Amino acid sequence: MASNAPPPEATGAVLVKSVEMPEGSQKVEELDFDKFRGRPITAEDLYEGMKNMGFQASSVGEAIRIINDMRAWRDPETGEGTTIFLGYTSNMISSGLRGIFRYLVQHKHVACVVSTAGGIEEDFIKCLGDTYLSSFAARGADLRAQGLNRIGNLVVPNANYCAFEDWVVPILDRMLAEQEASRGTDHEIHWTPSKVIHRLGREIDDERSVYYWAYKNDIPVFCPALTDGSLGDMLYFHTFRAAPRQLRIDIVEDIRRINTLAVRAKRAGMIILGGGVVKHHIANACLMRNGAESAVYINTAQEFDGSDAGARPDEAVSWGKIKVGADHVKVYVEATTCFPLIVANTFAKGA
């Protein structure tokens, strides 16, 4: 005789009895736009509505909380705040995020910046010519024939790089002359990447520039891979122009400078957009103090190839680059999508 009851094996598999959730467990919350009827929706409204939404919305919420904790902390004896290391890759400067980085440096919200060569030169190039929106699908061969260079869905006319050459080469000439004139004196000039960037920030004299404000506020900008871009091209061509003399740029002095900044920090915080040399250069500096107390990573790289770019913060804990028990989060979101919301709820809040 057939039974009307489902098989007990199926019932046992599907209707597994759950345990009681621990007291204080956070419930998933929903963003209800009806709550904002009759008034504008603010960046804080979005943050409050998203932080318990789950997935990467909650990671963005964690990043906001951690950064606000970085900003609020003060050493009980000296009153010093967190030394915040900001890192970003060159594509970020090419995008409209450049204005946010400029804001952070102009208002002294960070202690130092680490970027790649493109993240330096593109800032100056944008003072000399515009970058334009294009498409990720724009054909490389067609763009090459038109003298246009694609960065994702942006294009930069090659004329901008020609303008950069016209601007930067005379500066390199003057820097070389100063270097040679100082030889054998008590004030011999040793150029480093951070000193080169400081000088270029002074020379650009343009308030749109991130590095103009870094120069004005004496915020060091480190670029261990300074030659990996158009600036490297200019330095290469300059070796022929200036022969047999040559501009010398010392990376050893800069590694001492950034590591010392980390060692002397009362508390260290890392905000790193993207991966590669930028991410590791900051993390390795914090190793010198047995790790940063807080860290926010923002990138879309995965960890499964073993690269540092995709590594989660916990891997840095194993190296001593982030302290055991430190506050950290990795946000798996493309930075232009989330960093404006993060800054609006942290550094720019109440500005």
Q: Report whether 329 contacts 63 (CB < 8 A).
A: yes
Residue 314's pLDDT band, with cuts at 50, 70 and 90, is very high
Task: Name which of 152, 150, 101, 143 is nearest 123 in CA terms.
Answer: 101
Q: Max Cα separation, the chain?
A: 106
Output the CATH code of domain 64-128+160-344. 3.40.910.10
Residue 2's pLDDT band, with cuts at 50, 70 and 90, is low
Strands 154-157 and 83-88: unpaired
How far apart are alpha carbons 70 and 346 in whole angstroms?
10
Exposed e or buried b for every residue in 269-308, given b needs 16+ CB within 10 A? bbbbbbbbbbbbbbbbbbbbbebbbbbbbbbebeeeeeeb
Task: Name which of 100, 92, 96, 147 is nearest 120 in CA terms.
Answer: 92
How far apart are alpha carbons 56 and 330 in whole angstroms?
9
Q: pTM for the whole thing?
A: 0.96
pLDDT tens, residue by residue, 213-271: 999 999 999 999 999 999 999 999 999 999 999 999 999 999 999 999 999 999 999 99
pLDDT tens, residue by residue, 89-147: 999 999 999 999 999 999 999 999 999 999 999 999 999 999 999 999 999 999 999 99
51 is catalytic: no
Q: Where are the alpha helices (DSSP H) in the chain?
A: 8-14, 43-50, 55-72, 90-94, 98-106, 117-128, 140-146, 158-181, 193-204, 210-216, 230-242, 251-264, 276-287, 313-319, 335-344
Is pLDDT of 297 > 70?
yes
Residue 187's pLDDT band, with cuts at 50, 70 and 90, is very high
Count Cβ atoms within 10 A of the Cβ of residue 228 and give its class: 0-12 exposed, 13-18 middle, 19 or more buried.
middle
pLDDT at 8: 86
Is pLDDT of 1 > 80?
no
Q: Which position among 51, 195, 321, 323 bears the catalytic label?
A: 321
